Amino acid sequence: MTLRRSAAAFAILSALAAAPAAAQSASGTPADVPPPPQVQLAATNKGVPVSKLDPVQRATLTRVNAYFNSIQDMTASFEQTGPDGSRSVGKLYLSRPGKIRFQYAPPSPLEIVSNGSSVVVKNRKLSTQEIYPLSQTPLRVLLADKIDLLRDTDVIGVYQEPEMVSVVLVQKNAIGGSAQIQLLFSGQNYELKQWTVTDAQGMDTSVVLTDVNAQAKLDANLFRIQAQSFQGGPRRP
């Protein structure tokens, strides 16, 4: 395993992931996978300084924090759309604090796993994997032990409509440069529905969640990161 701080690999982690979506597109997207649902954004991403958030916006952030902090284990299906319109699907497993697994369905060969301190991006087809500090990826926002978006992130906008709530934040000093993240929640129960990451190059990747189950009890082995070994000895990408 190696630590490679490349912008391309950061796109995998931050967007979850532009590279896997492109890989699936190159192999052919399954014909029976429907296009991702069209989610109406709560507002444009102009944002406002945190100091100018009004009491309603701060109350919205409090409710979003409460939703995140109520979840310990969760599963969901996800569909990801890359900057070029390519799509991939799979299963998400989350166990707070710190653990998450994105299991991409074939033909994508990738999986992304966080064990609480590190995140690994594994390519099963190429028999390679790359490892990164969790603290330097946007995943840390979703996986913290106690989430407080106003305290722990650079919130630049909060928008609320009857059907949809949107929170826009910026992660700085991350692998590959700054990224803007827009989180979309249900206006009824604040359940996370979608996020869109805009990377340092201005490229957007969106992930839509469905079939969310916040009552799941997950096996710790789902989040285990093992040293990669190959026939004939270790191989470094």
pLDDT, averaged across the chain: 74
Distance between alpha carbon 28 and the CA centroid of its chain, in Å?
Answer: 23
- Rounded to an integer, the average pLDDT of 30-49 is 40
Whether the CB-CB separation of 2 and 173 falls below 8 Å is answered with no
Q: How many CB atoms lie under 10 A from the CB of residue 89?
A: 21
Per the model's pLDDT, the better-predicted residue between 49 and 154 turns out to be: 154
Q: What pLDDT shows up at residue 100? A: 92
Of the listed ranges 18-32, 115-129, 156-170, the one predicted with least confidence: 18-32
- Split at pLDDT 50, 70, 90, the class of 16 is very low
Q: How far apart are CA 157 and CA 58, in angstroms?
A: 10
pLDDT of residue 173: 55
CATH architecture of 7-26+48-217: Clam (2.50)
Q: Identify which has the larger pLDDT, 50 or 101.
A: 101
Please report the sign of the dihedral spanned by the C-alpha atoms of residue 92, residue 95, residue 101, residue 103.
Answer: negative
> For residues 63 and 160, what is the distance between their CA atoms, to the nearest angstrom?
12
Whole-angstrom distance, CA of residue 60 vs CA of residue 64: 6
What is the token pair recorded at 149? 């978006």
Reported confidence tier of residue 40, pLDDT bands at 50, 70, 90: very low
- Give 128-166 pLDDT, tens digit per residue: 888 888 887 777 777 888 888 888 778 888 888 888 999
Domain ranges of the chain: 7-26+48-217
Q: Which of 140, 105, 95 is nearest to 24 (CA)?
A: 105
Residues 163-202: tens digit of each pLDDT: 899 998 887 655 556 778 889 999 888 888 998 888 778 8
- Give 49's pLDDT tier (boundaries 50, 70, 90): low
What band does 54 get if pLDDT is binned at 50, 70 and 90? Answer: confident
Sign of the CA dihedral 24, 37, 92, 101?
A: positive
Per-residue pLDDT band at 205 (split at 50, 70, 90): confident
